[in-house]
Chains A and B, each alone.
Chain A
Amino acid sequence: MLLVTAPLQAQRLPPRLSGRVEDAITHQPVASVDVYSSGSIVATTDSSGAFSLPATHRPPLRLRFVRLGYELRDSTVTDASTPLLVMLVPAPLGVGSVSVERGAERSPAAEERQRFEREVIPRVVGIARAEIRALPAVGEPDVLRVLQALPGVVPVNDFATQLHVHGGGPDQNLFLLDGARVFAPYHLFGLAGACNPDAVRRVELFAGAVPARRGGALSSVVEVQQRDGVADSVFVEGGLSLVGVRAAVGGPTPAVAGTWMMAGRRSHVDLAKGGFPYSFSDFEGRVSLTPTEADRLGVSWFLSSDRFRWFVSSFGEGLHSRWSNAAGSAEWRRALAGGWSTLLGTWSSGYFGSIAVGDGDELPTSEARVRELGLRVEARREAKATSLRVGGELVRDRVELEGAQHAGGYLVGRSTGSSLTATGYVELDQRLGAVRLAPGLRVSHEVETRRNFIEPRVGLRMYLARSLSLTVGYNRTYQILSTLRDDRYLVPGAPLWFLRRGNDPASRADGATGELSWWLGTRYSVVASAYVRSYKAIPRWRPSGRRDLTELAYDDGSSRGLDLFVRRHSGRITGWLGYTWGEVRLDEAESGATYAPGWDRRRAVDASVAFQASPRLTLSSHLALGSGLPFWPATGAFDGYRLDTPQRRLAPGSAFPVWADEQARLPDYLRLDIGARYRFRAGSLDLEPFASVLNATNHYNVLFYRVGTDPAERARLYPENQLPWLPVLGLDVRF
């Protein structure tokens, strides 16, 4: 809560605007508060909490006060004759990693350093909003695409925004939007993320190591925090792109102090006559209320829907898929005395997905439904040398997986499951001179199966020098909710979630990560990290005979890797260069044979550059290089037989594929995207047209191979291309 009081005392008019910042609870001065005006830092409070703006900054002014550990607040100042008294309300520190702030930007290096200091967890990376907007994309700024460009995160092809983090599968990431889980945060089969970029305030990614307060996913946690509205005005933003049309509005709430925000998107290519057989929409929003200085209430929602109908052959055979998300959350945060704060939250998540293939009126259809309800209670204390967080969760999951009744569908058979899990967690952050020790523990009890999951999470940071630090961490995570994924077929469409049946084992990952971070002034940072992880009971579905859940097996494995991340945070040229070396291996439970999952990309280079050619013109490019991904080649086919009762004998049946016993690798991947944005003002509108060329060199990147024969009747694999050379145009508007 921001309080701007009446003048403290009558004084001679100061030469420039000044003031003081205090903690709203303790009334102690708050140092190192950044004061922003028009997107730039114009002052920083000293040890007494005082600040003074340059003489060039005269009211009326819109100021923003930003400080780690406090709620970000805006203020409109119309009178410089008296000093300001600004009250900031302490806020529970958010998790570290990628952070995208709406509106005014912190300095990039300061943003990154604050994020780094926030938690003692390795692999913390932040991307400035300008870099996300500048990165060339299919339609509009896409947070998931930017995350894929970071070292340690592997994309498998141009059509999937699913994340593969430190050797983990796409279902091993916990995607949260204001605390509510989203089970399929993708549009266009994963070509784009489902979150409207205009609605996003901050995105935080835990890559590999996750804090004790989060669980249920082996590889990463992605936390999306929606933006709040503006306290003193209404904003309207929108855009038109290749993907669709979007809009976001927000403003202050009536009666009770607070803000509201709503944003929506809809595709448009399907509306044209004979248009693209795909449509999507999403609608999300947030209401934030601050009834008292110490209380904050938040209600958020997210709805999305995708529908696809496509005929894959001239015989009328089709592939139809649709999925939808419905997530909502509510939370009450309260700041108490003595540095304590509490959180009471609840969330609900629903998901529906279906895949249907065939022809005629009755398509063999496979469907999945997920419903999750959760309750969380948490208490936190922040002090100079010690921070403590203690909390508990109660989560109810119900999953229904229903396949076709007859052969031909993606899945045959039915499976339902439910789980009720009670969890307690504790996180400690102890500063001991140049060392920070952060032990954590998460303990869960699954009521139905009576299983207990004990997950230690430990972090240690040593400040070797003023700008050099070493962070190491160890964590264990469990997961019982996974997606059904055919080991050999790349199938576009809705993910099908399933819950472990009966005595099936829970997946487990144990990982150790080390990171050496070096800050070169305020402009550069260099991060070198290494990780090693072991996996237990990773589900593998390689249907043979039947496409049902009896073909599920659980494999063990491991992954290891090295990342190098060099970044330039500020200046006219910003961006990063990342290199990843990684290896993932899984061992078949039945035979012990080792194989590589489909996301085992051994080497990758990502370079992203944004160049501020002029105050209005931004040029950007993104180069991605990667070694080929593994796949199971189809080497031939045979004709099956069936019992022909009228003829009272056997008769030929369908043709079936023959898969090789050894995997092959796709060719190396290369893609260069270039883009440009130009900002200008037209009356009261800020307009920003943008243009991109994806795969500017039209490099042939193989998506998969289909088996066939050449004119000499020899077996041959025919490649299918990924994204070709693709120009993209769009327009962003702000009012």
Chain B
Amino acid sequence: MIRARRALATVLVLLACSGVPAPPEVPEAEVRQHYVFGLLDPDSARQALIVEAVEAGGTLDDVRVRITASGDPSPLSELRQLDVVSGACIARYGVLIAANDLRCAEGGFRPAFGGRYDLVISSVGRDTARATVQVPGDFQLRSASAEGTPPGTRGLAAVWTPSAGAYRYLVTVSPSAADDCFNVHGCEDGWFTVTTDTQVVTTVPGSALHDRPGARWYVEVYAVDRGLFEYLTTGSGGSVFPVPPLQNVRGGHGAIGAWVRRSWALR
């Protein structure tokens, strides 16, 4: 019994004498992938995509985006990395904010209405990412009317022609690029609805808009492909239960889509 007590005491002493242990070694973050976001606009002759390093502290080198027609390996265009301050990216995506190394890949390319394209995104030392984009077909906004002050609060109607390949139509009512909106996340005004139809008859909730004397109001219809639509309308941030949005980039993260936008200025 004395021997057992001594043995027990010895074990306890040895275990206790290990000292206050430091946190153990952490596993290395091996992922070196791209985050890509962008949309192809067939109304523009220049395209720009945002490319970002995924891992904290990662850097990007020689980013290239090769565009081919689906099923045809012949390259149609190659977007190349520019510096962070890029007019094309800012004009299309607004002020860019990123935690990691971010680049804008830009180049001359006008996608065809209804075209289908494969994009390959590469950079030095990273996994190659890929995405396929279905560009919606061209369409015409035939008519739009918005009654009430602000517009649409007493009735909104719009009609347009179908866009081949469009997954959803977004219909928005918003003032002109507001001079008094300095917040990069946008002002509070602005409203949109989603439909699969080629017309909308609805009423804008009064709480969504504020009267802006002197502002020019627009009704806009976006024909959006599936990849872009799902990316913009899913996911939730926050520090407790964040969930990434649906993404169509393979071998990386993010989404590349396309839209066709038609505007109607309200009187």
A717–B26 CB distance below 8 A: yes
Q: Which residue on chain B has the smallest CB distance to residue A713?
A: B57
- The residue from B31, B92, B186, B237 contacting A658, defined by CB atoms under 8 A apart: B31
Is B106 interfacial (CB-CB < 8 Å)? no
> For the complex, what is the distance from the CA of A644 to the CA of B56, rounded to whole Å?
27
On whether A638 and B253 interact (CB within 8 A), knowing A407-B236, A643-B192, the answer reads yes
Q: Which residues from chain A contact B232 at a C-beta distance below 8 Å?
A: 641-643, 650
On whether A652 and B29 interact (CB within 8 A), knowing A408-B236, A409-B241, A700-B23, the answer reads no
Is A357 interfacial (CB-CB < 8 Å)? yes
For window 247-273 of A, CB contacts with B under 8 Å fall at none
For window 157-198 of B, CB contacts with A under 8 Å fall at 170, 172-175, 177-178, 181, 184-192
On whether A646 and B190 interact (CB within 8 A), knowing A656-B235, A662-B30, A702-B24, the answer reads yes
Q: Which residue on chain B has the smallest CB distance to residue A637?
A: B99
Q: How many A-B residue pairs have CB under 8 A?
A: 220
> For the complex, what is the distance from the CA of A638 to the CA of B37, rounded to whole Å?
10
- The residue from A312, A672, A709 contacting B56, defined by CB atoms under 8 A apart: A709
Write the nearest CB–CB distance from B130 to chain A, whole angstroms.
16
For window 681-704 of A, CB contacts with B under 8 Å fall at 696-700, 702
Per-residue contact bits, chain B 13-56, to A (CB 8 Å; 1 contact, 0 not): 00110101111111101110101010100000000000011111
- The residue from B15, B27, B192 contacting A717, defined by CB atoms under 8 A apart: B27
Q: Which residue on chain A has the smallest CB distance to residue B97?
A: A652
Is B10 interfacial (CB-CB < 8 Å)? no
B27–A655 CB distance below 8 A: no
> For the complex, what is the distance from the CA of A656 to the CA of B238, rounded to whole Å?
8
Is B136 interfacial (CB-CB < 8 Å)? no
- The residue from B25, B27, B53, B190 contacting A644, defined by CB atoms under 8 A apart: B190
Q: Which residues from chain A contact B172 at a C-beta distance below 8 Å?
A: 643, 645, 648
Is A661 interfacial (CB-CB < 8 Å)? yes
A656–B24 CB distance below 8 A: no
> For the complex, what is the distance from the CA of A674 to the CA of B12, rounded to whole Å?
10
Stretch of B63-71, B141-149, B242-250 with 4 or more beta carbons under 8 angstroms from chain A: B242-250
Q: Which residues from chain A contact B54 at a C-beta distance below 8 Å?
A: 635-638, 658
Q: Which residues from chain A contact B97 at a C-beta distance below 8 Å?
A: 639, 652
Is A654 interfacial (CB-CB < 8 Å)? yes
B100–A636 CB distance below 8 A: yes
> For the complex, what is the distance from the CA of A655 to the CA of B52, rounded to whole Å?
13
A313–B241 CB distance below 8 A: no
Is B207 interfacial (CB-CB < 8 Å)? no
A636–B185 CB distance below 8 A: no
> For the complex, what is the distance from the CA of A643 to the CA of B235, rounded to whole Å?
13
> For the complex, what is the distance from the CA of A709 to the CA of B1, rounded to whole Å?
53
Is B202 interfacial (CB-CB < 8 Å)? no
Is B98 interfacial (CB-CB < 8 Å)? yes
Write the nearest CB–CB distance from B224 to chain A, whole angstroms.
9
Is A719 interfacial (CB-CB < 8 Å)? yes
Q: Which residue on chain A has the smallest CB distance to residue B224?
A: A643
A697–B57 CB distance below 8 A: no
Q: Which residues from chain B contact A658 at a C-beta distance below 8 Å?
A: 31, 33, 35, 54-55, 244, 253
A698–B240 CB distance below 8 A: no
> For the complex, what is the distance from the CA of A55 to the CA of B243, rounded to whole Å?
75
Is B230 interfacial (CB-CB < 8 Å)? yes
On whether A672 and B15 interact (CB within 8 A), knowing A545-B246, A654-B238, the answer reads yes
B27–A664 CB distance below 8 A: yes
A717–B245 CB distance below 8 A: no
Q: Which residues from chain B contact A700 at a C-beta distance below 8 Å?
A: 21-24
> For the complex, what is the distance from the CA of A489 to the CA of B244, rounded to whole Å?
13
The residue in B22, B39, B52, B245 that gathers the most chain A C-beta atoms within 10 A of its C-beta is B245
Is A657 interfacial (CB-CB < 8 Å)? yes
> For the complex, what is the distance from the CA of A89 to the CA of B245, rounded to whole Å?
65
Is B155 interfacial (CB-CB < 8 Å)? no
Is B266 interfacial (CB-CB < 8 Å)? no
A638–B243 CB distance below 8 A: no
B56–A713 CB distance below 8 A: yes
- The residue from B29, B95, B186, B236 contacting A633, defined by CB atoms under 8 A apart: B29
- The residue from A409, A639, A715, A718 contacting B55, defined by CB atoms under 8 A apart: A715
- The residue from A644, A654, A672 contacting B236, defined by CB atoms under 8 A apart: A654
Given contacts A547-B241, A640-B231, 11 further A-B contacts (CB under 8 A): A573-B4, A633-B27, A636-B29, A637-B56, A645-B172, A646-B186, A647-B186, A650-B92, A661-B31, A699-B18, A717-B27
- The 10 A-B residue pairs with the shortest CB-CB distance, nearest first, are A654-B237, A645-B190, A407-B236, A545-B246, A545-B234, A646-B190, A713-B57, A638-B35, A644-B186, A717-B26
